[in-house]
Structure 1
Amino acid sequence: MNIPIIVTSCINPNAPLTKLQDPKIRIDVTIDALKKICKHADNIVFCDGSAFDISAELKKHPEFDNKNIEVLFFKNDTKSVEMFGKGFGEGEIVNYAVEHSEYIHSSTCFAKLTSKLYVDNLQKCLKAFNSTGFFVPVPSFREEMIDTRFYIVDKNFYNKNLKKVYKKVRDLEGIYLEHVFYDVLIKLDKHKYVARVMPIIRGVSGTFNTNYSSDNKMKYFIKTLRLKYLSIFSNSKEK
């Protein structure tokens, strides 16, 4: 299945609690992650919510020659992002991409990946998509949040359940996009949206200005078992 990947970007950030502010560094780490994504993805939709056109930067790197990268950019609701947080801005970016991307227009689903990050086992995750949802609840066995760094979702499912929830984000009050996604998804059947494969996410966090180190084999094994447990447990409850 050819699933377009939305890479959500904000080269010139204006959200509170974002430690990596330098646009030059943000461009560099974004380009580095995109190079890795291109090795495993067919269609990429790069969408920036700070009105930054990354096209000129892409032309500097031969790795992007003949790659299917659709570049979108617009100016998000700056005042709301400053007031409510980066999850509010991310919601606007995803919605803009869904509404304006030619790749997504011709697809029934899409993946979303935060810029500056990449997924080592991307193809494995895409193949594991069940045609409805691919979300990872966190942390441990207390699913109080959904990992919104990377997910895969059917467009109709997204539009019906998740399109508008970003408006509830209040970063300064400790209410993040991860929480509002969870509040919606927890009410639905888990087997419809819990991921079957644990994504191996690497890259740089713009929020914390830190590198995501790779999990050791034992930690990754435990996370994978947890996803299987959630799937089996949800199915057994429905029966």
Structure 2
Amino acid sequence: MQTNYMDDIVLLLTACINPNGMSYTVVQDIELRKKQYRESLSFYLTHTKYKIVFIENSNIDISCLYQKEISEGRLECITFDGNNYDRYLGKGFGEALILNYAYIHSKLIAQSHYIVKITGRVIVENVIELIDSCSLDKKSVYCELGLREKTTVSVFFIAHKDFYPLFLSKRNLINDFSKCYFEKVLFQSIFRMEKGYSS
């Protein structure tokens, strides 16, 4: 990836500091989760030069800790109240709501073309190498696919922002109780895009 692509790419870190008893969420401790998110965010600020959107859905604002990076235009912190939906829908539904909110409200995403979505507590140490290995175009999504299971690994994927309306238009299908997981809907959306469907 050449340096002139730097402004075309934004890292999107999704976060839920207070899971509020969300099912299938192993770490429930708020302070521990906050610490993990801060460690991850610090890694990407230190080890990459990409602009970063950190978006959190339980109304816990940590932007006061990053005023320098925010004022320099390197970081955008968004916090909203988006974790009060029915619990049976599962955390994947909440993840989709986070992506939808970011897509609508983020100024950095509006200024960029490609979104590198990363689950906020995960440190992808080779993130630069992964981005550099991609031949980015509007009709490609880079992620790990499970073709047999028809699912994806969703903690990290790269897509043009035009992919998001297609995927997010199906967000209401996500329901952990019905075993229609975020990863399954993401997989289906990728294949719909490759077949040329827009909705």
For 1:76-125, what per-residue CA distance to the aligned partner results, in whole angstroms no more than 9, with x for missing partners? 15123x13011111111111111111111111221111111122221222
Aligned residues: 185
Q: Which residue of 1 aligns with 2:60?
A: 52
Q: Name stretches of at least 5 consecutive residues in structure 1 with no aligned partner.
A: 191-239
Q: Name stretches of at least 5 consecutive residues in structure 2 with no aligned partner.
A: none
CA drift at 1:12:
0.7
Is 1:136 paired with 2:168? no
Q: Which residue of 1 aligns with 2:18?
A: 12
CA drift at 1:183:
2.1
Q: Pick from 28, 35, 56: which aligns with 2:42? A: 35
SS in 2 for 1:79: coil
Q: Percent identity?
A: 28
CA drift at 1:163:
1.4
Counterpart residue identity of residue 106, structure 2: S
Q: 1:33–1:109: structure 2 CA closer, same or farther, 3 Å change rule?
A: same
- Separation (CA, whole Å) in 2 of partners of 1:188 and 1:102: 25
Q: Which residue of 2 aligns with 1:219?
A: none
- Separation (CA, whole Å) in 2 of partners of 1:186 and 1:144: 10
8 Å contact kept, 1:31–1:58: no
Q: Considering only CA atoms, is the larger Rg found in Structure 1 or Structure 2?
A: 1
1:1-239 correspondence to structure 2 within 5 Å: 1-2=5-6, 3-14=9-20, 15-38=22-45, 39-58=47-66, 68-76=74-82, 78-80=84-86, 82-127=87-132, 128-132=134-138, 133-139=140-146, 142=148, 144-159=150-165, 161-189=166-194
Counterpart residue identity of residue 147, structure 1: V
8 Å contact kept, 2:70–2:76: no
Cα RMSD over matched residues?
A: 2.4
8 Å contact kept, 2:11–2:118: yes
TM-score after normalising by structure 2? 0.82
SS in 2 for 1:31: helix
